[in-house]
Amino acid sequence: MSPVARHHSGHDDGGGLTVPAPAPIAIIGIGVCEAEGRSTSDFVGALFQAPGASLPVAAANGTGHSDLLAIRVMPLQVAGLADRLPADASLRQAAHEALAVAGGIAAARTGVFIGIPGQDAGLSGTTRHSDGLAALNAAARALTAGECETALVLTAGPAIAMVLQRLDAARTTHRRIYASLIDVPPAETAARWGTGSGHRDLSGQFEPSATASGLLHVASAALSLFHRTLPDGRPWLIRNPVRTAQVSLADPSGVWQSIELLEETDSAGGWAQSECLPIIRLYTGADRLALIRALEMDLAGGDGPVRLAIVAPDGLTNDKQRLRALDVLRQTGDEKTALTIADGVYYRRAPIGGELALVFPGSAVGYPGMGRSLLHVWPELIDQLADQSNGADAAIGWAYAAQPAHAPNLSQRLRSVCVLSLLHRFFSDTVLGLRPQAAIGLSLGETNALFALGVWQDPDSLYDASDRAGMFSKYLAGTFEAARQTWGLPATAAVTWTNWRVAADRRDVEALIADEPRVHVLIVNTPDDMVFGGDDAACQRIADRIGRHRCLALGFDLTVHCPELAPVADVWRRCHHRETKPVPGVRFYTHATGSHYEPTADLIAEHLTTQALQTIELPVVIENAWRDGVRIFVEHGPQASTTACITRILGERDHLAVSLDRATGSPLQHLGNTIARLAVAGVAIDIAAYNRRAEQLKAPSPGFAIQPATAAALPSFRHGPPRDADGRQQMVPAPWLPPITSPGDAPEAGAITPPTTDMPPAGPEDHPLGQIYAAHVLAQTNAHQDLMAGLAAQGEAHRRYIAAAQRGLQAFAVAGSPSPSA
Q: Which residue has the higher pLDDT, 481 or 6?
A: 481
* Dihedral-angle region of residue 750 (phi above 0 means left; psi in -120 to 50 means alpha; beta otherwise): left
- What residues contact residue 446 under an 8 Å CB cut-off, 6+ apart? 360, 590, 591, 607, 608, 611
Q: Is the pLDDT of residue 204 over 90?
A: no
SS3 496: coil
* Per-residue confidence (pLDDT) for residue 205, from 0 to 100: 65
What's the rounded Cα separation, in Å, for the pair 457 and 422?
A: 11
The answer to whether 215 touches 153, Cβ cutoff 8 Å, is: yes
Q: What is the mean pLDDT of residues 789-793?
A: 67
Amino acid letter at 686? D
SS3 181: strand
SS3 164: strand
CATH 3.30.70.20 fits 355-475+567-697, yes or no: no
SS3 92: helix
Sign of CA dihedral 24, 29, 30, 33: negative
What's the rounded Cα separation, in Å, for the pair 318 and 313?
A: 8
* Per-residue confidence (pLDDT) for residue 391, from 0 to 100: 86
Q: Is the pLDDT of residue 118 over 50?
A: no
Q: Mind listing the pLDDT tens digit for each residue in 248-287?
A: 877 666 777 788 999 998 888 888 765 689 999 999 999 9
What's the rounded Cα separation, in Å, for the pair 559 and 565?
A: 6
SS3 175: coil
The answer to whether 245 touches 224, Cβ cutoff 8 Å, is: yes
Selection from 166-180, 398-412, 438-452 with the highest mean pLDDT? 438-452
Q: Strand 338-342 to strand 345-348: parallel, antiparallel, or no bridges (unpaired)?
A: antiparallel
What's the rounded Cα separation, in Å, for the pair 551 and 561?
A: 19
For residue 117, what pLDDT band results from cuts at 50, 70 and 90? low
**241 burial level (CB within 10 Å; 0-12, 13-18, 19+):** exposed
CA 530 to chain centre: 30
* Per-residue confidence (pLDDT) for residue 42, from 0 to 100: 83
What's the rounded Cα separation, in Å, for the pair 562 and 612?
A: 7
For residues 164-191, one letter each, b for 16 or more C-beta atoms within 10 angstroms of the residue's C-beta and e for the rest, the string is bbbbebbbeeebbbbbbbbbeebbeebb
Q: What is the dihedral of CA 758, 762, 766, 768, to 10 degrees?
A: -30
Count CB neighbours of 688 within 10 A: 10
Q: Report the CATH architecture of 6-262.
A: 3-Layer(aba) Sandwich (3.40)
Q: Which residue has the higher pLDDT, 108 or 718?
A: 108
Domain boundaries, the chain: 6-262, 279-348, 355-475+567-697, 481-566
* Per-residue confidence (pLDDT) for residue 776, from 0 to 100: 60
The answer to whether 230 touches 386, Cβ cutoff 8 Å, is: no
Looking at residue 715, the DSSP 8-state letter turns out to be: P
Q: What is the mean pLDDT of residues 301-316?
A: 95
* Per-residue confidence (pLDDT) for residue 22, from 0 to 100: 64
* pLDDT averaged over every residue in the chain: 80
Q: Are 6-262 and 481-566 equal in CATH topology? A: no
Q: Among residues of the chain, what percentage have pLDDT more than 70?
A: 73
**488 burial level (CB within 10 Å; 0-12, 13-18, 19+):** exposed
Q: Mind listing the pLDDT tens digit for each residue in 87-109?
A: 577 888 888 889 988 987 876 78
CATH 1.10.1040.10 fits 481-566, yes or no: no
Ramachandran angles phi, psi of 303, nearest 5°: -135, 30
> What is the radius of gyration, based on Cα positions, of the chain?
31
Give the lowest-confidence range in 36-50, 290-304, 490-504.
36-50
Q: What is the dihedral of CA 750, 754, 757, 763, to 10 degrees?
A: 50
Q: Mind listing the pLDDT tens digit for each residue in 608-618?
A: 999 999 999 99
Counted residue by residue, the chain has a size of 822
For residue 62, what pLDDT band results from cuts at 50, 70 and 90? very low
Q: Strand 255-262 to strand 338-342: parallel, antiparallel, or no bridges (unpaired)?
A: unpaired
Q: Strand 6-9 to strand 159-166: parallel, antiparallel, or no bridges (unpaired)?
A: unpaired
* Per-residue confidence (pLDDT) for residue 819, from 0 to 100: 40
Q: What is the mean pLDDT of residues 331-338?
A: 86
Q: Is the pLDDT of residue 446 over 90?
A: yes
Q: Which residue has the higher pLDDT, 301 or 159?
A: 301
CA 27 to chain centre: 26
Strand partners, 438: 357, 587
The answer to whether 27 touches 162, Cβ cutoff 8 Å, is: yes
Q: Outline where DSSP puts E strands in 557-642.
A: 587-589, 596-597, 616-617, 630-635
Q: Mind listing the pLDDT tens digit for each residue in 15-51?
A: 333 333 468 999 999 998 876 667 888 888 888 875 4
Selection from 187-201, 661-675, 686-700, 702-716 with the highest mean pLDDT? 661-675
Q: Strand 630-635 to strand 110-115: parallel, antiparallel, or no bridges (unpaired)?
A: unpaired
SS3 670: helix
For residue 747, what pLDDT band results from cuts at 50, 70 and 90? very low
What's the rounded Cα separation, in Å, for the pair 357 and 434?
A: 10
The answer to whether 550 touches 769, Cβ cutoff 8 Å, is: yes
Give the lowest-confidence range in 89-103, 427-441, 739-753.
739-753
What's the rounded Cα separation, in Å, for the pair 165 and 621?
A: 57
For residue 543, what pLDDT band results from cuts at 50, 70 and 90? very high
Count CB neighbours of 545 within 10 A: 14
Q: Which residue has the higher pLDDT, 381 or 37?
A: 381
* Per-residue confidence (pLDDT) for residue 165, from 0 to 100: 94
- CA-based angle 634:635:636, to the nearest 5? 115
* Per-residue confidence (pLDDT) for residue 185, from 0 to 100: 72
C-alpha distances in angstroms, 355 versus 527, 596, 672, 682, 684?
A: 25, 14, 21, 11, 11
Q: Is the pLDDT of residue 707 over 60?
A: no
- CA-based angle 31:37:38, to the nearest 5? 45
For residue 390, what pLDDT band results from cuts at 50, 70 and 90? confident
* Per-residue confidence (pLDDT) for residue 90, from 0 to 100: 80
